[in-house]
Each structure stands twice: as structure tokens, then as C-alpha cells.
Amino acid sequence: MTTTHASPAPAVGAEDLSVWPASAAEPRPGELSVGAVALSAVAERFGTPVYVLDEGEVRRRCRSYRALFPEAEIHYAAKAFLCRAIARWMDEEGLGLDVCSAGELELAVAAGFPAHRIVLHGNAKTPHDLHEALRYGVGRIVIDSPSEIARLAAAVGPQGRQRVMVRVVPGISAGGHDKIRTGTEDQKFGLSVSDGYAQHAIARILDQPQLELTGLHCHLGSQITDVKPFLSAVRRMVGLMARLHEQHGLLLPELDLGGGHGVAYRPGEPALDLHRLARRVRAELSEACAAAGLPVPRLIIEPGRAIAGPSGVALYRVVSVKRTGGRTFVAVDGGMSDNPRPALYGVRYAPRLVGRAGSAARTPMTVVGRHCEAGDVVAADAPLPDDLRAGDLLAVPVAGAYHLSMASDYNMVGRPPVAAVRDGRARLLVRRESLEDLRGRDVGL
Ligand code: LLP
């Protein structure tokens, strides 16, 4: 077994909370609390839709990464979800940060995150991205294309020095969906080993006195639930490190294996076993390095989803229930503008009724959003109580990653707020986008 299931099947009649934050509890029948705050109270106070982030769960996940990989640097992938509070939590928990734009960088630094613990990624870093990265003094910049080398060296200037890594395509196929597989040659990220682009880029970097190559980077893809692709990546990356040592006498002190650690979105789905990952990667790395006669590099990993995803809950209000064509459509007050993932990747979620105890009988229902597309589905075939009605609250677990960071202004409904819960208290982190916000950008007539 290379994967674990989120938890054993629940007792008949009990709600399966395996994909919910560890703090999730049922203080009374039908009510659900997270961080000791009733979700219905959060909806009441902040309105719906609203995203709830369990601060304790975020911190617990950071700590568990640090405990499992004590020798490694853990960089949180900000693209999963970033706001000032989460940047602060990452700093307090001793993690680094992976950013991929001047925007993410600026927000993190403005929140007080130390720039030297930030890594800049991106397949198309603009001159502005690079300029800001140098101005703030980020720890490392990950080179993703040959043209970036000269541009970056010129921007650093003759007196400067910038630490860089090279993003290598290891030729490994892994990930939960075609659109999020990045380890093979048929996609836009990285420099390939098999056609020699990676080796060529490395030789050019070594020629630039302004650039200091600290190591290799690879990111196989996202939502990977099997340990094996990571082990193959270790072998291939160490193989390349050995060749670089032979050719250039180079001993690279760092190896970044990217993120991609898969989580369960519904009870019973597989998730990446992080204990096993830590144990096997450590063993593979020391064996491969011993065989190649190389010192073991410092490991870096970049989880995003596995930290933020299961820590977040989306809360929606049911607007209408419609029975048609043999199906029950439950329409809620959010949808693809706050969560495009079902439309993009066909992901399935497990919403549940909160705030009141519904009837025991469950029927598969299609939870849809309020947007003007038939593909605006929040959760397909979700078993929900027969007596579900307008005004009810639905909570969707595992909503903390790649929802709001990918949210749009489609249909001008405005993006939802984010509230943090912890120890019985809720506080607003990001306010709701108002019509005024939307109107304010429209400056022509
Ligand atoms: N490092 C790099 C260089 C990345 O590109 C990514 C994600 C990560 C780390 C973090 O991966 P994670 O641990 O979160 O899987 N929108 C998609 C996911 C796109 C992932 C993009 N890169 C989704 O909703 O599933």
C-alpha cells in the first residue's frame, strides 16, 4: 500500500468527519463546529458564502511536516491560498514560502514574512517579478527557461549575487489530473534532462558570476497520492547531480522536490501517506547519494494543498431546491466563481447540511452554483437529507486550497470573505468583495 485512506468507515448513523479539520465536532445534533465555533454562527455573523479557515489545523499541519521532515526546509506553496494571516502563521511555524508572482511576494513581505525565506517560481517571470524579487532580496529564484538566465544576471548587476535553483523536468508522470501534471516533457514547466536543456542551462548559470546555483528543483504535479513517483524523482535528480559532479566538479547543497501531496476530498478517498513519504524519500536519497559518492543535499519540499486544503471549509446558503429530469438540483449562493475546481478538474466534494438535523434519509443531489453555466457544479451526486430546503446551510470540507486563490469575478457576484476560527473565536481575515470594489476598477465610460 502506498496510500492511506482518510479513516476507517464510520459507525452506522455517525457522521464521517475524516476529511474535516481535527477540531470538527458536533456540539448538538445537526450542528457542526470547527475550532470550537459553530459553523452556523460563522454564517450568521459574516454572511454566506463564506470561507472558514481553522488556524489550529493549519498550524498542526505545518508542525507535522516539520516533525516528519526535521532535516528539510518546508516551503508553503502560497498559490494554494495566501492572505496576510497565513503568511504570519507560516513564519511563526518556521516554514519558508514559495511564491510565483510579484503580487504574492509583495503580500507576504508586507505581512512581515522574511524575504530570505521566500523562493520565487514561475515559467514566465516578468521583468517586474524579477525586479521585485531582487529588490526584496528573496532567498532563491528558480530558473525555468534558458532566456531567464541572462535576464536575471543582468538585473542582478555586476556587484550583486543571487542564489538560484534550476527547475528540471524529470520525465515522471504523476498527479490527480492532466492539467496538474508537470513532471513530463509535454507541458510548459521546467527544463528537460532528456533533451539536454537542463544541463545546458546549468552550464550557462555556472558561467554567470552573479548567480549562485544552490541546487535542482522539480515539481511532479499536484494531488499525488502515491509515494513512488517521488522516489523515482529522487533517483533521477541524484543521477543528474552525479553527472554534474563529473562534468563540472559541482556539489549542489540543495534538492527541492516540490509539492503535490494529495489529500482526500471525500471520506474513503486516498491521500498521500506523509509518514511513508518522509521515511522512503530519506532512505532513497541517502542510498542514491551513497551510490553516486555524493554528500546528501538538504531537502526542500513545497506543500500547498496538504496544509491549506483540509484546513478550510466553504459555507453556502441554499437558495433553491429543484427536482427535474429525475435529479434534485440544490442551488447555493456561490459556485464556480469561488470554486472552479469541479468545472476544471471534475473534482467531487462531500457537502453536508449544518445548523439543523435533517431527515435521516439521504438522496443523491447535485449541488450547483448561481452562475450562468450548466457546468457550474459545486458537488455532483452528494448524498443529502431528503428534506433539504431553501435557507439551509451547506458546508463543504477541504475547501482551503485552490478555491479562493483561483476565484473570479464571474457574473460580478463578488468574492467571499475568509474568517479564521480558533479556540471558540472567529475573526475576519479577508472581507467580502463588494459591488463598490468591482465598480471601482471600472474607470471608463
Ligand atoms: N511547488 C510548485 C512549483 C508548484 O507549482 C505547486 C503547485 C506546488 C509546489 C504546490 O503543490 P500542492 O502541494 O499544492 O499540490 N489548481 C490546481 C493545483 C495547481 C497546482 C499548481 N502548482 C488544483 O486546484 O488542484
Q: State pLDDT tens for residues 386-433.
A: 999 999 999 999 999 999 999 999 999 999 999 999 999 999 999 999
Of the residues 121, 188, 222, which should be mutated to test ligand 1's pocket, given the most ligand atoms within 8 Å of the CB? 222
**Residues 6 or more apart whose Cβ sits within 8 Å of residue 440:** none
263 in the same domain as 129: yes
**Residues 6 or more apart whose Cβ sits within 8 Å of residue 425:** 35, 37
Cell 460563522, residue located: 42
Instruction: Mark residue 105 as left, alpha or beta (left: phi above 0; alpha: psi -120 to 50; beta: remaining).
Output: alpha
Is 397:23 a contact under the CB 8 Å cutoff? no
Distance 261 CA to ligand 1 centre (A): 9
Distance 174 CA to ligand 1 centre (A): 12
Is 266:17 a contact under the CB 8 Å cutoff? no
Output the domain CATH number for residue 405.
Answer: 2.40.37.10
Is there a domain that residue 62 lies in? yes
**From the candidates 83, 100, 289, 372, which is the catalytic residue?**
372
Could you give the C-alpha distances from 174 to 82, 182, 270, 313, 402, in angstroms and in order?
25, 8, 15, 27, 19
258 in the same domain as 317: no
329, β-bridge pairs: 322, 366
Distance, in Å, from the CA atom of 32 to the CA atom of 18, rounded to the nearest integer, reads: 14
Is there a domain that residue 347 lies in? yes
Is there a domain that residue 15 lies in? no
Is 385:361 a contact under the CB 8 Å cutoff? yes
220 in the same domain as 107: yes
Ligand 1: lining residues by beta carbon, under 6 Å: 77, 79-80, 98, 121, 180, 219, 222-223, 258-261, 302-306, 341, 345, 401-402, 406
Is there a domain that residue 17 lies in? no
Is 304:97 a contact under the CB 8 Å cutoff? no
294 in the same domain as 232: yes
374 in the same domain as 324: yes
Tell which atom from ligand 1 comes closest to the C-alpha of 306: 13
227 in the same domain as 207: yes
Distance, in Å, from the CA atom of 143 to the CA atom of 145, rounded to the nearest integer, reads: 6
Q: Judging by beta carbons within 10 Å of its beta carbon (0-12, 13-18, 19+), is residue 343 exposed, middle or buried?
A: middle
Q: Judging by beta carbons within 10 Å of its beta carbon (0-12, 13-18, 19+), is residue 243 exposed, middle or buried?
A: middle
80 in the same domain as 145: yes
pLDDT at 184: 87
Domain that holds residue 370: 33-53+310-441
133 in the same domain as 244: yes
Of 254, 284, 307, which one is at a domain's C-terminal end? 307
226, three cell numbers: 502515491
Is 289 an active-site residue?
no
Query: Which residues does the chain have with pLDDT short of 70?
Result: 1-14
Q: Which helix (H) or strand (E) holds 274?
A: helix 274-292
Is 371:410 a contact under the CB 8 Å cutoff? yes
281, three cell numbers: 524519500
Closest-CA residue, ligand 1 atom 15, reads: 260
Report the number of distinct structural domains present in the chain. 2
Distance, in Å, from the CA atom of 424 to the CA atom of 421, rounded to the nearest integer, reads: 7
Is 417:428 a contact under the CB 8 Å cutoff? yes
Cell 511513508, residue located: 276
Look at residues 259, 405, 302 and name the one whose alpha carbon lies nearest to residue 95: 302
Q: Residues 235-239: contacts with CB within 8 Å, 24+ apart?
A: 235/284, 235/288, 236/170, 236/171, 236/172, 236/193, 237/168, 237/170, 238/285, 238/288, 238/289, 238/292, 238/294, 239/288, 239/292
Rg over alpha carbons for the chain, rounded to the nearest Å, is 23
Is there a domain that residue 180 lies in? yes
Tell which atom from ligand 1 comes closest to the C-alpha of 402: 24
Q: In Å, how far from its chain's centre is CA 301?
A: 12
Output the domain CATH number for residue 127.
Answer: 3.20.20.10
Of 275, 307, 339, which one is at a domain's C-terminal end? 307
Is there a domain that residue 3 lies in? no
Distance, in Å, from the CA atom of 217 to the CA atom of 300, rounded to the nearest integer, reads: 9
CB neighbours (10 Å) of residue 247?
Answer: 12
* 248 three-state secondary structure: helix
* 413 three-state secondary structure: coil
pLDDT at 14: 57
Closest-CA residue, ligand 1 atom 24, reads: 402
Q: Residue 15 phi/psi, 5° resolution?
A: -80, 140
280 in the same domain as 211: yes
Look at residues 100, 305, 300 and name the one whose alpha carbon lies nearest to residue 214: 300
Is there a domain that residue 151 lies in? yes
**Residues 6 or more apart whose Cβ sits within 8 Å of residue 53:** 81, 86, 308, 311, 312, 400, 418, 419, 420, 421, 429
Expressed in percent and rounded to 5, the helix, strand and coil fractions of the chain are: 30, 25, 40
222 in the same domain as 368: no
> What is the torsional sign of CA 149, 152, 156, 157?
positive
253 in the same domain as 113: yes
Is 132:106 a contact under the CB 8 Å cutoff? yes
Closest-CA residue, ligand 1 atom 22, reads: 222
Type of residue found at 152: L
150 in the same domain as 66: yes
Of 307, 331, 356, which one is at a domain's C-terminal end? 307
Is there a domain that residue 22 lies in? no
